Structure 1
């Protein structure tokens, strides 16, 4: 196995196409063609984590947070970022991060929080828009079934709980090949009329190269007529945060006790109690103040997140209980989830869970 193989497995469940624009994701350090000796999974790549990888004979670190976030202008070891990167380079250790790609994944960070809290009826809180594309093409009617099947196999035509979705219209296509052409239908230099089927399918944007490869491979024309456009439709399977439910309602104090235990956090900062039962829970790992209004609009009784500022708590406005459990605490089990996901994909050697606690915040 080489590093690229590991990347391929990760991007099956967290495609980088859905990372936020501000993020820095992918292979941050290392050679994609390097043979893998071991994989260490961590939340953050600190120098101590690189030391752990060396000790465990792992030459790949899969890190949720990117150690390189802003541009590096120098590498002289003057800060923790440069020291970690320099040590990784010196020891031929690759570092890969998926960050917000995993935040936006249906089985990613927020799904892991829901599972930790044993919530049911999970759905995306803020579905992402602009990541669904539509392909329209024209094929000889007799070849339509073959092409549709190939497009479906490549991942096109999936809408929610349905697959093999397409729209088809039969009509007449015309074309006239010049002297340089080599038409598979008709004769060059002569206008040809062909019974054609117009096929339209939608697909997730990270599949575009795969869809087009299937189109060109299974279309008989020398020149394939096709259109790809981006849709504004929201993708209900990709996006930030989740909303789910407790199996049974709890009082607000009991829920916070439950939350503290399940998420292994020493304290919870919260807005004023509303003295009403808690049933519907919105969650967003990491800094989630931007999603407060979405949580309220979704009818959540509680919004579990982190990094809320003083004035953010005022926005509860007696309509929702805001619970800030800490940034590290909200994401700490992400590395466990990544180990579980990678273990299903890679079975020929162990995926090692980092034992290093990278939380920079201490409590007195």
Structure 2
């Protein structure tokens, strides 16, 4: 059986730590490095629901994409039961469940978040969107009208809904940026993309894209990143066949749309 440290080392071999942004927090963030793992749960986020699922399954470690502690959106200053983050961490510690997070290093690595997203949308001739490795660009097998393309994105990623600024031209060349990559729309434009698929897009981003004649699609943070969880699960299972590795069944898109 593999230790948590060995699982971390394998995941770093797939998504090297050096690929993470300077502000990021990746690796084995909770747990005993020497502990032997028998069951692993893979999820985009380490939510309370995911932790409860791990407890019910008897998992020793959760592998997440988004860091569970000391990240920009949830810096840890206390470990108190009367805070959401404190309760989560205390629950993990009480049940001796480790957490390994692979975040921006998994975004940029070959075969990571953005490659998986590009492949899911059927892009061909996939290449880098930016010098730092975030995002991918490729072409569709055949041209699609904007509305048909948007519908395909929604169905393929199983999104609850998408927001988009349309364009009048057929979609052939497409850029993608899993998660909050709205700032990379300019890279897609510079490369001559007809469409850019990402998440967390602002009003003026849509306006700028429409003025430039590019279809900008916000397919949601969860739907554009979650497909990589299956890849992580498969890689772990192949490398460590003695482990039971599952993808979370409780974690899902939390954003709903009322139309």
User: Which bin holds the TM-score, normalised by the shorter protein?
Assistant: over 0.9
Change (3 A) 1:47 1:266: closer
Q: Distance in 1 between matches of 2:176 and 2:194?
A: 11
Structure 1 unpaired stretches of 5+: 129-238
Between the two proteins, the alignment pairs up a number of residues equal to: 253
TM superposition shift of 1:49: 1.1
- Picking from 292, 317, 342, the partner of 2:236 is 342
Q: Distance in 1 between matches of 2:130 and 2:89?
A: 34
Equivalent positions of 1:231-250 (< 5 A) are: 239-250=133-144
Corresponding residue of 1:298: 191
Q: Distance in 2 between matches of 1:85 and 1:354?
A: 18
Q: Distance in 2 between matches of 1:255 and 1:358?
A: 23
- Picking from 154, 178, 182, the partner of 1:289 is 182
Is 1:112 paired with 2:112? no
Structure 2 unpaired stretches of 5+: none
TM superposition shift of 1:29: 0.5
Asked which structure has the greater CA Rg, the reply is 1
Q: Is the 8 A contact 1:109 1:334 kept in 2?
A: yes
Corresponding residue of 1:266: 160
| 3-state SS, counterpart of residue 134 of structure 2 | strand
Corresponding residue of 1:185: none
| 3-state SS, counterpart of residue 81 of structure 2 | coil
Deviations along 1:104-135, whole A, 9 cap, x unmatched? 1111001111121121111111122xxxxxxx
Is 1:102 paired with 2:106? yes
Please report the TM-score for the alignment, with normalisation by the length of structure 1.
0.67
Q: Distance in 2 between matches of 1:44 and 1:332?
A: 9
Change (3 A) 1:293 1:312: same
Corresponding residue of 2:226: 332
Deviations along 1:298-331, whole A, 9 cap, x unmatched? 1111000010111111221233110011111211
Equivalent positions of 1:69-88 (< 5 A) are: 69=71, 70-88=74-92
Q: Is the 8 A contact 1:274 1:318 kept in 2?
A: no
Deviations along 1:190-232, whole A, 9 cap, x unmatched? xxxxxxxxxxxxxxxxxxxxxxxxxxxxxxxxxxxxxxxxxxx
Deviates further, 43-52 or 95-104: 43-52
- Picking from 308, 322, 346, the partner of 2:201 is 308
Corresponding residue of 1:193: none
Q: Is the 8 A contact 2:5 2:28 kept in 1?
A: no
Please report the TM-score for the alignment, with normalisation by the length of structure 2.
0.94
TM superposition shift of 1:255: 0.7
Higher helix share: 2
Corresponding residue of 1:8: 9
Q: Is the 8 A contact 2:137 2:174 kept in 1?
A: yes
Corresponding residue of 2:250: 356
Q: Distance in 1 between matches of 2:183 and 2:35?
A: 40
TM superposition shift of 1:349: 2.2
Q: Is the 8 A contact 2:163 2:218 kept in 1?
A: yes
Q: Is the 8 A contact 2:182 2:200 kept in 1?
A: yes
